Structure 1
Amino acid sequence: MKKIAILGSTGSIGTSTLSICESHPEHFHPIALAAGSNLALAFEQCVRWRPQVISISTEALAAELAAKLKAAGVIGVEVVHGTAGTVRVATLPEVDFVVAAIVGVAGLEATYAAVLAGKDIGLANKEALVAAGDLILAAARERGVALLPIDSEHNAIHQALRAGTANEVKQIWLTASGGPFRNTPLADFEHITPAQALKHPTWVMGQRITIDSATMLNKGLEIIEACRLFNLPPDRVKVTVHPQSTIHSLVEYIDGSILAQISVTNMRLPILYAMAYPERLSSDLIFDMAALAQLDFQQPDLERFPCLRLSYEAAAASQAHCIALNAADEIAVASFLKGELPFLGIPRTIERVLALTPSTSPASIQEVLALDQHARQQAREVIAQNQAVTA
């Protein structure tokens, strides 16, 4: 039985992971949880799973959770908090496998600490490899740590790559739904509202990743992650728009063979694959072959989706540019959701921040975080300047 730590246990990936533990109790048991600030759900998870350790965001919430657990007669659960608490969850000696699902760079330190501790990782946090891919991969190689992608596209590639060797791969293809604005006239992009952008045609996701899907910045981060995970240059990581989302990604081999991974659009499947690897376990996730009746593919429009172009440019430039891309996007998306920035203001902000970013490669997680904070501040300044001009 694998003993599991979940970073982001109250999010969609975390709750899906716990549902897999529920379905396969003989294979997986969660013993450490990092729950963010959702006190009510963290309490429920402690009552159900009785983890050895749970981390929550602040000291005040940790004290409140500890008091609730005591009042409910739940004993033996260590309650910790903050970044140090998340690191404690990720590095608990008894843990065999860590599901890293904290959104953004917030989970970076804990993910890196888990790698240093020799834990195999189910990676649902693409920002970790975008911001600190060189450091994480070097540490994983040194310690023989397996990095199993949970993103559906990278998980699909991982599966298809099991059919050949690295030198037999010509290129890989990431599929993209195209988001809600695949066919929207370009003239209407200036007037896209947050409510419109949050209506994804295929997946149910958090707010930031849904907006990133609408701009295709999410696919851009996946390009960078794929370059890191599969040791490929940006020009060998292609994107194709596939609205049906039934083919999750493809690997093209040098002999002309193309292998595709097809499954239901349910994140429980890639999570289960990562947790069970190298085995496969039976599940109730059945694909309806009728969904293959129509399969459409088209080249992405870089004029319609400038964030995709910017991502390729960042991937080819430097690690600092990848950090800046992600950081500027997070700030710009937050401003868009507040109504402070138009939809096209997101790529404009990112492009300006990338232009201000010098090429460099951070040598430590602390340098990564410093570059991240600097890029965020630059994004805020760019947005403020634009608001002053339009006021």
Structure 2
Amino acid sequence: MKQIAILGSTGSIGQSTLSIIEKYPGRFAVASLAAGRNVEAAFEQCRRWRPQVVSMATAELADELAKRLSAEGVTGVEAVYGTEGTIRVATLPQVDFVVSAIVGVSGLEATYAAVKAGKTIGLANKEAMVAAGEILTAAAREAGVPLLPIDSEHNAVHQCMRAGTRDEIRRIWLTASGGPFRNLPLEEFSKITVEQALKHPTWVMGRRITIDSATMLNKGLEIIEACRLFNLPPSAVKVTVHPQSTVHSLVEYVDGSILAQISVTDMRLPILYAMSYPERVESDLTFDMAALGHLDFSPPDFERFPCLRLAYEAAEKGGAHSIALNAADEVAVDAFLERVIPFSSIPRTIEEVLENTSECHPATIPEVLALDRQARETAATVVRQLASRDRNSNVSA
């Protein structure tokens, strides 16, 4: 039986992982959880799953959780907190598999520590690979542990790659729904509202990733992640717009064969695949073949989605530029969600930050985090400048 640690247990991936564990009690068990700030959800998960260790964001939240557990008579659960707590969750001796699903770079140190400890990693956090992919993959090779993608597109690529060797692959194709604005006139982009941007046509996701899908920056991050995971140059990672979202990715081999992975749009399937690898486990996640009646594929519009162009440029340079791309996007998306800047200023923020980023390749996780903080500070300055320009423009108008 595999003992599972979940980093980000109260988020959508974490909850889906727990539903898989519940469905396969003879295969998987909960060893530890990192639950962030949601004490209520963490309390319910501890009461249901009785992990050995649960980590909260702060000491106050861990203390609150411990008191609630004690009052309820739940024993044997140790409440810890912060980065050290999350590392503890990820590196418990009995843990076999770590689901890395904390949004952003917050879970990077714990993911790295888990790799160094020889744990198999299920990566649902693309930001970790974008910011520190070179470091994580090198550590995984040294430790002899796999990094198994849970992100649906990379999970699909991983499945298709089992049909041949790395040298037999010509390129991979990541599919993108195109988001809610693939047909919106360009002149309307500056008027896009938060509510419109949060209406993804296919997937139900968190707020940041939904906005990233609308700008296609999410697909840009996936390009960088694919380069790191599968050791491919950016030129061998292509994007195709596929509104139906039934084909999750494709792998093209040197003989001209193209293999596609098709399944329901349900994150439980890639989670189950990663947790069961190299086995395939029977599930009830069946696909309705009638959905293949009509499939569309088209090249992405780089003018409509400049974030995709910026991502390819960052992928080519790597290092600090990949870190800055992700950090600047997080700051810009938060500013958009708070209605500080318009939708069209998200790529403008990212581009200005990248223009002010020097070329360097960090060798350690602390160096990655330092570059991340620096890029966020630059992005915050750019956001203030853009917001001021917009205000002045509106006053003049």
- Mark yes or no: TM-score above 0.5: yes
Q: How far 1:383 sits from its partner (Å)? A: 1.1
Q: Which residue of 2 aligns with 1:85?
A: 85
Give the Cα–Cα distance (whole angstroms) in 1 for the partners of residues 358 and 57 of structure 2: 33
Q: Which residue of 2 aligns with 1:54?
A: 54
Give the Cα–Cα distance (whole angstroms) in 2 for the partners of residues 63 and 322 of structure 1: 37
Q: How far 1:125 sits from its partner (Å)? A: 0.3
Q: How far 1:319 sits from its partner (Å)? A: 1.0
SS in 2 for 1:201: coil
Q: Does 1:374 align with 2:354?
A: no
Q: Which residue of 2 aligns with 1:25?
A: 25
Q: Does 1:251 align with 2:251?
A: yes
Q: Which residue of 1 aligns with 2:94?
A: 94
Give the Cα–Cα distance (whole angstroms) in 2 for the partners of residues 137 and 345 of structure 1: 33
Aligned-residue CA RMSD in angstroms?
Answer: 0.5
Q: Does 1:6 align with 2:6?
A: yes
Q: Does 1:45 align with 2:45?
A: yes
**Per-residue deviation, residues 90-130 of structure 1 (Å, max 9, x unmatched):** 00111000000000001101100100100000000000010
Q: Which residue of 2 aligns with 1:169?
A: 169
Give the Cα–Cα distance (whole angstroms) in 1 for the partners of residues 198 and 388 of structure 2: 27
Give the Cα–Cα distance (whole angstroms) in 2 for the partners of residues 383 and 134 of structure 1: 29
Give the Cα–Cα distance (whole angstroms) in 2 for the partners of residues 48 and 10 of structure 1: 13
Q: Which residue of 2 aligns with 1:159?
A: 159
Give the Cα–Cα distance (whole angstroms) in 1 for the partners of residues 379 and 245 of structure 2: 32
Give the Cα–Cα distance (whole angstroms) in 2 for the partners of residues 90 and 365 of structure 1: 16
Q: Which residue of 2 aligns with 1:236?
A: 236
Matched-pair contact (CA < 8 Å) for 2:5–2:90: yes
**Per-residue deviation, residues 48-94 of structure 1 (Å, max 9, x unmatched):** 00000000111111111000000111001010001110000000111
**Per-residue deviation, residues 241-284 of structure 1 (Å, max 9, x unmatched):** 00000000000000000000000000000000000000011111
Q: How far 1:174 sits from its partner (Å)? A: 0.1
Give the Cα–Cα distance (whole angstroms) in 1 for the partners of residues 291 and 26 of structure 2: 33
In structure 2, give the amino acid aligned to 1:195.
Answer: E
The 5-angstrom pairing of residues 1-391 of structure 1 reads 1-391=1-391
Give the Cα–Cα distance (whole angstroms) in 2 for the partners of residues 203 and 36 of structure 1: 23
Give the Cα–Cα distance (whole angstroms) in 2 for the partners of residues 115 and 152 of structure 1: 21
Matched-pair contact (CA < 8 Å) for 2:345–2:386: no
Q: How far 1:200 sits from its partner (Å)? A: 0.1
Give the Cα–Cα distance (whole angstroms) in 1 for the partners of residues 101 and 211 of structure 2: 18
Give the Cα–Cα distance (whole angstroms) in 1 for the partners of residues 27 and 86 of structure 2: 24
Q: Tell me, which stretches of 5 or more residues in structure 1 are unaligned?
A: none
Q: How far 1:384 sits from its partner (Å)? A: 1.0
Give the Cα–Cα distance (whole angstroms) in 2 for the partners of residues 303 and 89 of structure 1: 44
Give the Cα–Cα distance (whole angstroms) in 1 for the partners of residues 300 and 336 of structure 2: 23
Share of identical aligned residues, percent? Answer: 72
Give the Cα–Cα distance (whole angstroms) in 2 for the partners of residues 171 and 144 of structure 1: 25
Q: How far 1:387 sits from its partner (Å)? A: 2.2
Give the Cα–Cα distance (whole angstroms) in 2 for the partners of residues 370 and 203 of structure 1: 33
Q: Which residue of 1 aligns with 2:395?
A: none
Aligned length in residues:
391
Q: How far 1:385 sits from its partner (Å)? A: 1.4
Give the Cα–Cα distance (whole angstroms) in 1 for the partners of residues 385 and 254 of structure 2: 49
**Per-residue deviation, residues 275-307 of structure 1 (Å, max 9, x unmatched):** 000001111101000000000000000000000
Give the Cα–Cα distance (whole angstroms) in 2 for the partners of residues 390 and 101 of structure 1: 36
Give the Cα–Cα distance (whole angstroms) in 1 for the partners of residues 340 and 19 of structure 2: 38
Q: Which residue of 1 aligns with 2:394?
A: none
In structure 2, give the amino acid aligned to 1:334.
Answer: D
Regions of 4+ moved over 4 Å = none
In structure 2, give the amino acid aligned to 1:320.
Answer: A
Give the Cα–Cα distance (whole angstroms) in 1 for the partners of residues 18 and 318 of structure 2: 37
In structure 2, give the amino acid aligned to 1:298.
Answer: S
Matched-pair contact (CA < 8 Å) for 2:175–2:248: yes
Give the Cα–Cα distance (whole angstroms) in 1 for the partners of residues 339 and 74 of structure 2: 44
SS in 2 for 1:33: strand
Q: Tell me, which stretches of 5 or more residues in structure 2 are unaligned?
A: 392-397
Give the Cα–Cα distance (whole angstroms) in 1 for the partners of residues 231 and 122 of structure 2: 18
Q: How far 1:132 sits from its partner (Å)? A: 0.3
In structure 2, give the amino acid aligned to 1:49.
Answer: W
SS in 2 for 1:379: helix
Q: How far 1:386 sits from its partner (Å)? A: 1.8
Give the Cα–Cα distance (whole angstroms) in 2 for the partners of residues 30 and 178 of structure 1: 36
In structure 2, give the amino acid aligned to 1:263.
Answer: S
In structure 1, give the amino acid aligned to 2:358.
Answer: P
Q: How far 1:162 sits from its partner (Å)? A: 0.1
Give the Cα–Cα distance (whole angstroms) in 2 for the partners of residues 116 and 181 of structure 1: 42
Give the Cα–Cα distance (whole angstroms) in 1 for the partners of residues 142 and 209 of structure 2: 32
Q: How far 1:14 sits from its partner (Å)? A: 0.2
Give the Cα–Cα distance (whole angstroms) in 1 for the partners of residues 263 and 269 of structure 2: 8
TM-score, length basis structure 1 = 1.00
Matched-pair contact (CA < 8 Å) for 2:328–2:353: yes
TM-score, length basis structure 2 = 0.98
Give the Cα–Cα distance (whole angstroms) in 2 for the partners of residues 47 and 361 of structure 1: 44
